[in-house]
Amino acid sequence: MNSIVINVGNSNIRFGLFNGDNCDISWVINTKPYRTVDELYVQMLMLYQTYKIEPEEISKVIIGSVVPQLTKVISSAIKKIHKISPVIVDRSTPSGVQAKSKQMGTDIYANLVAAHNLYPNRKKIVIDFGTALTASCVTETGETLGVIIAPGIVTSLNSLINQTAQLPDIELKKPKTVLGLDTVTCMQSGMVYGFLGMVEGFIDRINDEVNDDCFVVATGGVSHVYKPLTEKIHVMDRLHTLKGLYFLGKDLQPS
């Protein structure tokens, strides 16, 4: 059975084509909160053509969103393309994970659900390098232990650039040296090693608080920058949140 899973985030909308439990193809478009149904309809059809996806071969569409104004627009575009209603999942969707908070974002909940399904029998920490930098922890039995939310890396970098007169836009990558002698290297060091220290600190403090050595999964747009720089992150998976949304919606029917 082929499914399309859509993760509507604050910065990007990620789509995944699932064949059974496997995500075969994934693509990302920029989140613009005031898109029309027609805009999304055309853009999605063009991407389907690019990846050779036939709409009639899709039996289910699952949507998880943290941008409410886009949820209805995407749902309408899906109905127009696939002639089916999407399954919309959120923190109230039943799973093996207990959300324990009515304020938990759908993306964080999906991260915990994916970790619970993919890495059983141990406590897990999921670090999501998204618009916000989040760290969430779940037990072997699916109990949510808590979440940390901090400013996102790209969000912080854009704020730094926009609020200063002489700091340039830079590529977020590991600099050749920790101590820089040119502006770009200095900024790269601050963004990469500064946030790396924060992430490692989160992991150490969570491990101390839960009295365990948790299995750590990294996901989100810039997770690939940080995974090679630390042994504290065990797995990097950009599709982790999509997989959680898939697990939440795969046995549900549209309401």
- Nearest residue to 31 (alpha-carbon basis) of 8, 15, 53, 56: 8
Q: Where are the beta strands (DSSP E) in 85-223?
A: 87-89, 124-129, 132-138, 144-151, 215-219
List own/partner pairs for 191-199 with CB under 8 A and 24 or more apart.
191/153, 191/156, 191/157, 192/225, 192/226, 192/229, 195/133, 195/153, 195/156, 195/226, 196/226, 196/229, 196/230, 198/133, 198/150, 199/127, 199/133, 199/135, 199/226, 199/230, 199/232, 199/233
**Beta carbons of 185 and 176 less than 8 angstroms apart:** yes
Measured CA to CA, the distance from residue 213 to residue 38 in angstroms comes to: 49
Please, what's the largest Cα pairwise distance for the chain?
58
d(Cα 227, Cα 16) in Å, to the nearest integer? 22
Respond yes or no: is residue 169 known to be catalytic: no
Phi, psi dihedral angles at 228 (to 5 degrees): -70, -10
Annotated catalytic residue, options 90, 107, 128, 237: 107
> For residue 68, what are its two tokens?
């409410």
Report, as residue numbers or ranges, the catalytic residues.
Answer: 107
